[in-house]
Structure 1
């Protein structure tokens, strides 16, 4: 049995489940547009509609958005994605010379075209996904549209063969209807499963407040 390296869902031989594959494809498509939008933030911070914040007024803080400088002007986003393209090509076609850097959009487009191979054969597929989403989160936090955060539902109430309750933390993204426990692999998906999870949570303490 093969499981998604990000959520432990069964995948029939793939390193990433269908949900995370689709999510990664969408993020690869979104990164170039986010990179372009970040360039708008490469302007001095303002205190009002027309007043520029001068270096003197800002004190030790730069009047430019330094996070954007790192991501865009410092080529961090482009360098990261070009590095992933180079490594995927090295693994898939070791006999060929790595491609020269061609920019963020080119790297994302190439990786998206090879995604079907990546999610089956590439050993670092999960690491690639995490880093892509990290870049996307960093960009979204600047342009004002942060990614939804996982909801903590409580602790897993499934019992093993020895009768011991698992107790691992169970989380899900907003709207996600199927969650597999990363520790014991029990899958919560039916109404009965969710009611069992809710009923099995402690009645006092921090967990009670966080059950969704």
Structure 2
């Protein structure tokens, strides 16, 4: 029996339970946007004197923690995520060369696409989940943005080839424009998809 490396729940052989696998996927999807916000908030550190101007007494301290400036930035996040991508690829395809350099968005997307295999087979999954969460928390400490909560949109209205409605719960993070049903795989992303989802929700029982 394998336990979730985050919460200890029985996973039936996977490294993460379903709840924490979904959280990891959401964090990977959100990380590039979050670090774009970090870049907007932080003043780049410079080595020259008198970089910060203040109307206060002489010799003011920087209003920003310069250690944070060094540690919480897009380049650092991109480096960490790329190293995870390199290691996942090394384990999954040991005869392949290392992946080419990529930006944070591309590496987060790649790991997200491989997440089903990762959760099932990759021994470092728990550490990956913890480090991605730490990157998220560090970024949110700068942008002052609380972690978004998934919004329940209703139940999946996609039909299978026999005409049966899926019915799985559909939820998304605020601002997320594309949602894939975890049960049937239908992707909601166009205006037509969202209108269809809204229109065909079952009526509440009287």
TM-score bin (small chain): 0.5 to 0.7
Match for residue 104 of structure 1? 104
Cα-to-partner distance string for 1:136-162 (whole Å, 9 max, x where unaligned): 0000111112459xxxxxxxxxxxxxx
Q: Is 1:132 matched with 2:112?
A: no
Q: How does 1:12-91 map to 2 (within 5 A)?
A: 12-43=12-43, 53-54=53-54, 59=59, 61-62=61-62, 66=66, 67-72=68-73, 75-91=75-91
Match for residue 114 of structure 1? 114
Give TM-score, length-normalised by structure 2.
Answer: 0.61
Q: How far apart are residue 71 of structure 1 and its match?
A: 2.4
Q: How far apart are residue 85 of structure 1 and its match?
A: 0.4
Q: How far apart are residue 35 of structure 1 and its match?
A: 0.7
2:34–2:140 contact (8 Å) kept in structure 1 = yes
In 2, the alpha carbon distance for the partners of 1:128 and 1:99 equals 18
Q: How far apart are residue 65 of structure 1 and its match?
A: 5.6
Unaligned stretches of 5+ residues in structure 2: 45-51, 149-206
Match for residue 206 of structure 1? none
Q: 1:79 to 1:2 in 2, by over 3 A?
A: same
Cα-to-partner distance string for 1:27-66 (whole Å, 9 max, x where unaligned): 000100001001111338xxxxxxx734996837346663
In 1, the alpha carbon distance for the partners of 2:57 and 2:96 equals 54
Q: How far apart are residue 6 of structure 1 and its match?
A: 1.3
Match for residue 161 of structure 1? none
In 2, the alpha carbon distance for the partners of 1:11 and 1:120 equals 10
Unaligned stretches of 5+ residues in structure 1: 45-51, 149-212
Q: How far apart are residue 100 of structure 1 and its match?
A: 1.9
Q: How far apart are residue 69 of structure 1 and its match?
A: 4.5
1:39–1:68 contact (8 Å) kept in structure 2 = no
In 2, the alpha carbon distance for the partners of 1:109 and 1:57 equals 48
In 1, the alpha carbon distance for the partners of 2:61 and 2:100 equals 36
Q: How far apart are residue 3 of structure 1 and its match?
A: 1.4
In the alignment of these two chains, the number of paired residues is: 140
Could you say what secondary structure the match of 1:100 adopts? coil
Q: How far apart are residue 113 of structure 1 and its match?
A: 0.3
1:5–1:16 contact (8 Å) kept in structure 2 = yes
In 2, the alpha carbon distance for the partners of 1:23 and 1:125 equals 13
Q: 1:61 to 1:83 in 2, by over 3 A?
A: farther
